[in-house]
Structure 1
């Protein structure tokens, strides 16, 4: 039913997770999740700092995090132009093979412009289908590639299709990576209709939400300006994932997922 990793364009259908499958997967392996509210209540002393001093207090401000998976791609520079113009920080979960290694200047720009650079594995294989050594290879290879370009290893990862288990958690903990899931998805792998992508995001938006989009599909980047404008009109402040969790810090190995209101 699913392909093992996404294509770069809308013509190559991606294998991504529905909310129902995500619940089933996590429930089936008894993985506990941490909400942003719970993270903020933690001291963070055992976590990994993921960002500079926070700009906002998400316990007081209506925050939402914009995240992009499986890039960078050919449209990512245009997306960065949009985010720069609108002064919106985002979190980029980067794919290694044919993305990080193909667009090193874009990876550097993402970091230089203040966005959070995170790990989405090397080849987008489903980590729960792999043994421990294979999971480690998928994550560590991307860690090393990003560090070589930016000078810093990521502290966040997103497992492909949101599928995780105790082995993935153990390896993530070993590599200093917290696992970040989502609560808002436009399923932009399934449509090139930018208006529909926008509507899906806006219909699901909620405080402390994490939006999942992809900067590799044709309809996504054109939808971003109107998503930003409308959510700002609704009183939202855009933050990176580490800012959403602050003053707590993302604990390596832990699974973070917002709950809708």
Structure 2
């Protein structure tokens, strides 16, 4: 997507991502709910019910793979890897030039059991927008995804992890919980597959949420090695909803793991 004639856009996203280093997963000071808190605070009805996910992350050493800003040209290769390794992931999809350009890939992500989530329409920084503009960024992507998969997402990730009360209010209106991260390879800054792999493995921790981008050249080739090593270390890969279960992501709330 961000190659040849789209090179300027790729560069813009890289600059925006780099600007977020000081914020990383700060959420601009908005308090976040950890996966452990989500599980412990689940209603008695949900706690009493059997885990529909088949994974109990209160007992298992769980970690969630998430991918932002796709789908892109390499996403089918990534899906092949995830299918072969029987690893579920959560995809925070970008609307313009992604969801609308690769509808068959969006459908495949959904059909193969991955969690389909929202990463806005144009990757605008939501905290810089008026409330109506925030709603447009999120609602337009909701509708585009639902048109392809038949279901609107329940999770979103604000670009750069920047959120505030206005973003939370709109997310609540649209039925979207906000999901941040605790592990990042900063793959927007390098095409070095070995470095991307090392950065993820160095930060890995129980209940972690890994942030990667399936649009950058070095990332998808790094995934098999990441999966292999984390499995060797005893991790169980889950989607974000599985990580929170029996808790459930509440619209408007911010979910953010503590760093390991």
TM-score (norm 1): 0.90
Q: Which residue of 2 aligns with 1:3?
A: none
Q: Determine the C-alpha separation between the residues in 1 that align with 2:77 and 2:162.
A: 30
Q: Determine the C-alpha separation between the residues in 2 that align with 1:66 and 1:9.
A: 22
Aligned length: 249
- How far does the alpha carbon of each residue in 1:51-89 deviate from its partner, in whole angstroms, 9 at most, with x for none? x92121000000000000000000000000000000000
RMSD: 2.1
- How far does the alpha carbon of each residue in 1:165-201 deviate from its partner, in whole angstroms, 9 at most, with x for none? 0000000000000000000000000000000000000
- How far does the alpha carbon of each residue in 1:194-231 deviate from its partner, in whole angstroms, 9 at most, with x for none? 00000000000000000000000000000000000000
Residues 25 and 182, structure 2, Cα contact 8 Å, conserved in 1: no
Q: Which residue of 2 aligns with 1:110?
A: 109
Deviation at 1:44, TM superposition (A): 5.2
Deviation at 1:41, TM superposition (A): 1.1
Question: Greater share of helix residues, 1 or 2?
Answer: 2
Q: Which residue of 1 aligns with 2:81?
A: 82
Question: Residues 44-55 of structure 1 correspond to what in structure 2 (within 5 A)?
Answer: 53-55=52-54
SS at the partner of 1:82? helix
Q: Which residue of 1 aligns with 2:198?
A: 199
Q: Determine the C-alpha separation between the residues in 1 that align with 2:128 and 2:214.
A: 26
Q: Determine the C-alpha separation between the residues in 2 that align with 1:71 and 1:176.
A: 21
Deviation at 1:32, TM superposition (A): 1.3
Deviation at 1:23, TM superposition (A): 5.6
SS at the partner of 1:223? helix
Q: Determine the C-alpha separation between the residues in 2 that align with 1:70 and 1:44.
A: 33
Question: Residues 82-231 of structure 1 correspond to what in structure 2 (within 5 A)?
Answer: 82-231=81-230
Structure 1 runs of 4+ with >4 Å offset: 6-12, 44-47
Deviation at 1:13, TM superposition (A): 2.8
Q: Determine the C-alpha separation between the residues in 1 that align with 2:20 and 2:207.
A: 20
Question: Do the aligned partners of residues 235 and 8 (structure 1) sit closer, same or farther apart at CA in structure 2, a change above 3 Å counting?
Answer: farther
Q: Determine the C-alpha separation between the residues in 2 that align with 1:99 and 1:66.
A: 20
Name stretches of at least 5 consecutive residues in structure 2 with no aligned partner.
1-6
Q: Determine the C-alpha separation between the residues in 1 that align with 2:12 and 2:252.
A: 34
SS at the partner of 2:170? helix
Residues 10 and 217, structure 1, Cα contact 8 Å, conserved in 2: no
SS at the partner of 2:91? strand
Residues 79 and 109, structure 2, Cα contact 8 Å, conserved in 1: yes
- State yes or no: 1:256 paired with 2:258: no
Q: Determine the C-alpha separation between the residues in 1 that align with 2:257 and 2:207.
A: 7
- How far does the alpha carbon of each residue in 1:18-46 deviate from its partner, in whole angstroms, 9 at most, with x for none? 4531465522xxx1110000000122599
Q: Determine the C-alpha separation between the residues in 1 that align with 2:99 and 2:136.
A: 15
Q: Determine the C-alpha separation between the residues in 2 that align with 1:106 and 1:42.
A: 35
